[in-house]
């Protein structure tokens, strides 16, 4: 099971998956030129949602289909510091696919 974490540090935004930086996957879908962000709806949270889903699902097409709902329902509601596991994502996917 993977664990995704985010933190706003003195050096800026830090998003990790199992302790390593999460690839923003702008090679597949460039939504933001400004990296990741969360706690609101916009291009930076959308990039984070897409990157998490691509990493978790290993399916860019499915991540594309779900990333906007994932951003609205999950990423936009993150606190300054957050943690999300693979199990958390799997538990929320059925509601997002509606």
Question: Percent of the chain beyond pLDDT 90?
Answer: 96
- Whole-structure pTM value: 0.96
Structure tokens at 33: 């030129």
pLDDT tens column, 3-50: 999 999 999 999 999 999 999 999 999 999 999 999 999 999 999 999
Q: How many Cβ atoms are within 10 Å of 24's Cβ, its own excluded?
A: 20
Note the pLDDT of residue 5. Answer: 98
Task: Give the separation between CA 75 and CA 44, rounded to whole angstroms.
Answer: 10
Tell me what pLDDT residue 96 has.
Answer: 85
Average pLDDT of the chain, as a whole number: 96
């Amino acid at each position: 099971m993977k664990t995704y974490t985010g933190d706003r540090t003195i050096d800026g935004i830090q998003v990790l998956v199992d302790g390593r930086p999460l690839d923003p996957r702008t090679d597949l879908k460039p939504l933001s030129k400004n990296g990741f962000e969360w706690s609101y709806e916009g291009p930076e949270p959308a990039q984070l949602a897409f990157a998490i889903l691509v990493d978790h699902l290993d399916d860019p097409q499915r991540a594309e289909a779900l990333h906007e709902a994932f951003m609205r329902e999950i990423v936009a509601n993150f606190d300054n510091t957050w943690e999300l596991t693979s199990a958390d994502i799997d538990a929320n996917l059925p509601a997002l696919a509606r």
